[in-house]
Structures are given as structure tokens and as C-alpha cells.
Amino acid sequence: MKIPELNDGALLPLAESFYSIQGEGYNTGKAAFFIRVGGCDVGCSWCDAKESWNPGLYPPTPIETIVEEAIRYKAKSIVITGGEPLTYPLDKLCLLLKSNNMQIFLETSGSHPLSGVFDWICLSPKRKKPPLDNIYRYASELKVIIEKSEDFEWAEENRNKVGSNTLLYLQPEWSRRTLILPEIIDYVKNNPVWNISLQTHKYINIP
């Protein structure tokens, strides 16, 4: 993956941005402006944002342009997602969003160093490129994607690394949801520290 020259995060390869409703995890149901940053070197086989992997496909966009659009909407919540947004230093983007009184939620695999300031960090660990050790303590929620039975073990491995206040979610991999959901339901009934997260935006057909 060739990272474009981005002036230390003053520019970001913007794959898309849109105003919608957060569909997953703790903030499900909240209106938010989504900033999807292009570029990811993790390579999950079931990724539903594969078109965002190559950062070279997206124009390096000044953060001022991104924030100008973000603050036009009524909701004051921002979801920064990808791709893997922590591929880039996010301090400048977060600073500018914060100076406009926005709440910032991050969606990350945790596989790159943490930068920026956030009101909520959703850590979604991926086997292909696991989180860096020092990011676990900052996770507001841990969201583990369950594709097959072995993933429950992976979920527990990650649970052992987060703080005691981190909220815990298991989310079915979308293409296998019909097969795997009954197992997740049983698992959560037997291990009630976990909650189920569903990709509700896909059920209601919104981005």
C-alpha cells in the first residue's frame, strides 16, 4: 500500500463522507456524519469496504474541506471510519472537529498507532493484523466480528486485554449472519458480559 504525501494529516485520502445513522455497536441509532478514510493494509476476506483499501484511489482532501461539510448537519457526532483511519495521523482532523464542538467516534482495527482525541473508540480487532498492545486500554467498546465458531476464542483473547469498563460486543459477519447468529445468541446467553451488535444500517438499507 503506497501512502500518499499528506502533510502530517493536514490532507486525508477521502473515500467518501455522508450523513447517516450509526448502525453498529454502542452508538447504534445515533445520527452522525461519517468520514471514510481510504487505505487499509489489514486484508479481511469478508471486508465490506474493499473499495477503500487503496488510498491512491482517493483525492488527498484538506481537513478544512471535510470539516466544513461535517458541521453543516444537525447532529454533532462524527464517525471516523475506513479503511483503517489510524493509517494516518488524525490529530489535526480531531483538533479541527473539536474546535467546532463535534463529538468524535473512531472505528479502528487498532493495527496502527493511536493518534487524535476521541469521545468514543470502537476497537474491532482483526486476526490478519492484530491491534497494537497499547491501544486496548483506550477502547470504549470492543466489537469482535464472528464469522465462525473459532472466533469466540479470538473474542475472549481480546476481552482479556481491554479494561474492565470496556463494553463488549459480538457482531455476526454479514454474509454468514443466518448461519452464525444462532451460535452468537447462545454464546451471549451463556456469557452475558457480551452483547450482540447487528449491522442495523444494512437491515434498514441506509449507508
Residue 47 binds ligand SF4 (CB under 6 A): yes
Binding residue for ligand SF4 (CB under 6 A) from 6, 35, 37, 40? Answer: 40
Residue 55 binds ligand SF4 (CB under 6 A): no
Residue 49 binds ligand SF4 (CB under 6 A): yes
Contacts of 168 (CB under 8 A, 6+ apart): 141, 142, 155, 159, 162, 193, 194, 195
Residue 126 binds ligand SF4 (CB under 6 A): yes
> CB of 104 within 8 A of CB of 71?
no
> CB of 90 within 8 A of CB of 107?
no
CB nearer to ligand SF4: pick between 42 and 80: 42
Binding residue for ligand SF4 (CB under 6 A) from 11, 15, 35, 44? Answer: 44
Residue 116 binds ligand SF4 (CB under 6 A): no
Amino acid letter, residue 98: K
Shortest distance, position 155 Cβ to ligand SF4, whole Å: 16
Q: Within 13 Å and on the Cβ side, how many CA atoms surround 192?
A: 1
Shortest distance, position 168 Cβ to ligand SF4, whole Å: 19
Supply φ then ψ for residue 13, to 5 degrees. Answer: -75, 100
Binding-residue pattern over the window 57 to 96 for ligand SF4, x denoting contact by CB under 6 A: -------------------------xxx------------
Shortest distance, position 40 Cβ to ligand SF4, whole Å: 3
> Which candidate, 73, 81, 126, 89, places its Cα nearest to that of 105?
81
Q: Measured between alpha carbons, how far is 110 from 167 in angstroms, rounded to an integer?
A: 16
Shortest distance, position 108 Cβ to ligand SF4, whole Å: 8
Shortest distance, position 49 Cβ to ligand SF4, whole Å: 5
**What does the buried/exposed string (b/e) look like for 150-184 if buried means 16 or more CB atoms within 10 Å of the residue's CB?**
ebbebbeebbebbeeebbbbbbbbeeebeebeebb
Binding site for ligand SF4 (CB under 6 A): 40, 42-44, 47, 49, 82-84, 109, 126
